[in-house]
Amino acid sequence: MQIQKTFEKIRSGLSKGAVISLKIAAYTFPLYIFVDILNQIGFITKIGRFFAPFMRLMGLPGDASVVLLTGFSINLYAAIAAMAPLHLTIKQITIIGLILGIAHNLFIETAILSRVGAKGYFVVLTRLFVAFFAGGMLNLLW
Amino acid sequence: MVIDIFHSLTGALYLTLKLSAIIIVLTIVYEIYENSKLYRTAKQLIGVPLKKLGISSNASITMITGLLLGIAYGSAILIKDSMESKMSYTDIILSAVFLSICHAVIEDTLIFVAIGANGFILLASRTALALIAVTILNRTLNK
């Protein structure tokens, strides 16, 4: 009985997981190709040059600003799709992971958190501030 | 300028497969966890450290859901729970700040580890930052 129940759970988890994976792949797959091509034609380098002075504070190359913008506005899967073609170092990936782990998917998550009862602008500002602070600290300490 | 489409395609495929594997395994684990006794045990376990932070046990389910599922996937439970349980203003503010810094810890950490990040540093610094932020905020609110 219990085993049968667990088996049922595994099956429904498998099918739900497959559906979620497909939904996520529907934008990570094209986004990866898009960013990889932007990178190959040198467009990312151009955007990166603009943000480079700020990104340097967190030990990141200017190119990574595209990854952060993607993560802030969309979500982590999109950011990872944008980051993979850039071939960053382990330290840089971990710093981006920390920054984006704290602040991501800001539009949707802030909407949800304000429905729970928290003030939207307060949540966004706290997250961005803590995220950049954490990124800068990790860069200094590592 | 030659664009190497094949390079882009194989990279995209590789990343998609890696992410799908993580997502499917996690969904199965959540599916089993959701209806198990573990859920209630976790609620009791988390109550004590939460109290130290100034968050009452009314926010336990909100915190567990947020920490494990994340804000977007867990939104249904979060909104439902916030309407049903009697969370105080302090509970809401403190758990919102904690969760906005530190949430979906399993999934977020795993997908970054999959592309090469140091998972331990990610997890430890997020937890530490959330604890510090909530402690400071709790002190200021209580003044």
Q: DSSP code of B4? A: -
pLDDT of residue A60: 95
Q: For chain A, what is the HEC assignment? A: CHHHHHHHHHHHHHHHHHHHHHHHHHHHHHHHHHHHHHHHCCHHHHHHHHHHHHHHCCCCCCCHHHHHHHHHHCCHHHHHHHHHHHCCCHHHHHHHHHHHHHCCCHHHHHHHHHHHCCCHHHHHHHHHHHHHHHHHHHHHHC
Chain B residue numbers touching A134 (CB-CB < 8 A): 125-126, 129
Confidence of residue A1 (pLDDT cuts 50, 70, 90): low
Query: CB A123 to CB B96 under 8 A?
Result: yes
pLDDT of residue B72: 62
Cβ-Cβ contacts under 8 Å between A and B: the total is 172
Chain A residue numbers touching B29 (CB-CB < 8 A): 13
Percent of chain A topping pLDDT 90: 33
How far apart are the C-alpha atoms of B75 and B69, rounded to whole Å? 9
Give the 3-state secondary structure of residue B50: helix
pLDDT of residue B32: 79
Q: DSSP code of B104? A: S
Residues 74-103, chain A: which have Cβ within 8 Å of B?
75-77, 80-81, 83-85, 90, 93-94, 96-98, 101-102
Chain A residue numbers touching B117 (CB-CB < 8 A): 90, 93-94, 96-97
Contact A29/B at CB under 8 A: yes
Range of the structural domain that residue A13 is part of = 2-141
How close is the nearest chain B Cα to the Cα of A51, in Å?
Answer: 23
Query: CB A9 to CB B31 under 8 A?
Result: yes
How close is the nearest chain B Cα to the Cα of A63, in Å?
Answer: 17
In the predicted model, is pLDDT for residue B77 greater than 70?
no
Q: What is the pLDDT of residues B15-71, one digit of tens each?
A: 889 888 888 887 888 777 766 777 778 777 888 888 888 888 878 877 887 887 776
Query: CB A17 to CB B24 under 8 A?
Result: yes
How far apart are the C-alpha atoms of B108 and B123, rounded to whole Å? 9
> CB-based burial of residue A53 (10 Å sphere; 0-12 exposed, 13-18 middle, 19+ buried)?
exposed
Q: What is the pLDDT of residues A60-96, one digit of tens each?
A: 999 999 999 999 988 888 899 999 888 899 999 999 9
Query: CB A24 to CB B19 under 8 A?
Result: yes
- Angle among Cα B133, B135, B140 to the nearest 5 degrees reads 95
Domain count, chain A: 1
**Any idea which residue has 């979906």 for tokens?**
B104
How far is residue A11 from each of residues B18, B30, B74, measured CA to CA in Å?
Answer: 20, 12, 21
Task: Give Cβ neighbours of residue A36 (< 8 Å, ≥ 6 apart).
Answer: A85, B7, B8, B11, B12
Q: What is the pLDDT of residues A110-124, one digit of tens each?
A: 887 787 777 888 888
pLDDT of residue A115: 77
Q: What is the pLDDT of residues B91-138, one digit of tens each?
A: 888 888 888 888 888 888 998 998 889 999 999 999 999 999 899 988
Q: What is the pLDDT of residues A22-47, one digit of tens each?
A: 887 887 888 888 888 888 888 888 88
Chain B residue numbers touching A82 (CB-CB < 8 A): none
How close is the nearest chain B Cα to the Cα of A66, in Å?
Answer: 17
